[in-house]
Structure 1
Amino acid sequence: MGTFLSTFLSDSAELPELTNRVHSAGPVPLSSPLPVADLAADSIAATMLMASLLHLVRTGVRDPRASEVPQVSIAPQLVAGTYRSDQLFRWNGSPAPAWAPLSGFFASSDGWVRTHANYPHHEAALRTLLRLDDSVTAETVAHAISRRSALDLEDEAADSGAVISAVRSPSSWRGHPQAQTLEADPFISLVQQAGGSGRHSLGLADSYAPLQGVRVLDLTRVIAGPVATRSLAFFGADVLRIDSPGMPELSWQYLDTGQGKRSALLDLGYKPDRDRLEQLLTDADVIVMGYRPNSLDLFGLSPAELHNRHPGLVIDRVSAWGQSGLTMAVLFGPTRAI
């Protein structure tokens, strides 16, 4: 297996010998200049190994040995299908509209930028930044961007809520302050808080549903977070996804990443909805957050505040660019209340 699995099992799970419990039928057919195929196989192997470990613990095995964990088999075609489910998804018999017309790579006056306009509020912010009207096309966006500097566009987007990032070479990215910050941060970090034992007693669980009885609040969007919580639902967790009534998820994407979950709408700018979320937190075992780092702190959802009010709650945060340094504000700008 690849570097990610061995690093995860050694640093996070502290069970490096579990790498011997994974068997793969061959390379994962995902084409990329980056080691995406290895990462895909490793992440699924890690998930399956942890699910097997959890099942052993719930059957009364206090300190499972690697030899007690069932061997995990990786099917390359299934891994590829899982990672490219957007290409397999069909909406009324047609492929999913994975990218909006104004999302893509565009040449600037001094390089290239990547825009993201899949969501209506991101498209509106992009049009406003480029001073374009509602009849905008990809061609008019390309013309407007071609007259601007990539870094200037990136900075203005961060301030305005649009999503434009400058395309950087590997050497240019390594010299960026955020890349240097991430060098010192672990890929996965674990923090054990005082009083961090399980909040609710969990009985036995089926080997195919080792997370049975675990209640998860899903405050994530787009792909990474919703796929993570979809995996929790796959292993038996009771997952409740919460979205804003004023900022719905893309319909096809919601269906693709929402399998096995329940859903609800809450506006955290409305006190009765915030109170309802607090009630849900009282009964939850896990909360997963995938919004821009610190954007939910305004609503009392920082890890420190959550731990103080709900000791033992497992708090998970997913971030594309890390939890420290410039974070995702460089790309995504302000985040509205869910």
Structure 2
Amino acid sequence: MSTPSLLLPLALTMGDPAGCGPQITTAAWSQLKEDGAPFYVIGWPGLYGSVPVAEIGEPSDAASVFREALPVLKLDGARAVTPGTPDADTAPAIIASIELAVAQARAGAAAGVVTNPIHKALLYGAGFGFPGHTEFLAELCRADGAEAPEPVMMLTGGGLRVALATIHIPYTSVPAAIADGRLERIARIVNAALVRDFGIASPRLAFSGLNPHAGEDGTIGREEIEIIKPAAIRLRGEGIDISDARPGDTVFAEALSGRFDAVIAMTHDQGLIPVKTLDLWGGVNTTLGLPIIRTSPDHGTAYDAAAAGTARADSLIAAIRAAQAMAETRARVPA
């Protein structure tokens, strides 16, 4: 008989060992060890010596030791690391930690994956061939003979859920990027995730506008008329409750008031500015569209803070709690 998914531990990746990952992982365990929802980290046990550590052989071992020690599934190749000083020789272990965490989640041994921050440039010499962490995870989730799933980044914090239609591209490239059917694909993924992972039976979504005042009837740009509104009409025809383009300066306030359960923002900064303004330290990056649960802190490796010993664990703690809540919801809501 299999263990219900809400009782399985979460897998935390090591992240860059010279970054903030070790510090925020130990801080998160210290705060969450009494919660009764275990996690384990895939990494080098020596990185976590500031707290009691228990080496485990299998994810299932995490629950029995979690309240007394941080469970660590040991990776080979441990080496001395100076906080704040990245070392290219750690790249193979960073990659291996991600690969193993995803494999264990896909196999049903872990309830989900919480990723500690990485620095992509450090990994390129070890054969990392992806533009970002998220694209790598999507490739690892590829089913045999199928295309990789299309991941969608959603940020949560300050009472908002904001999915991004585009991420790290120039503003001049956004109109073409959202005109290829992407808006419909993202909205379907967000709608399904709100039901499956957040327990919202009838999600209410909003598109933001791309131009000021949502184009003001075409006088400040026509993307709202020619791209966003037609996409919304097609989605409503599929039964998805989604607005036409709403002005970017008011749609997030509308979501906070309860009118919308999530906003799909057209650009990276349009979506991240309100979340980070409302909750700079506690925001969570959630990847939708994967067959596994994946969350992460909404920040990078923070080498300076790692060197100074001042890294804050707020966002990792929030990411762990979010992944736990999603796992519990998946266990209750039929796929």
**TM-score, scaled relative to structure 1:** 0.30
Higher radius of gyration, 1 or 2: 1
**TM-score, scaled relative to structure 2:** 0.30
Structure having greater relative contact order (Cα 8 Å, sep ≥ 6): 2
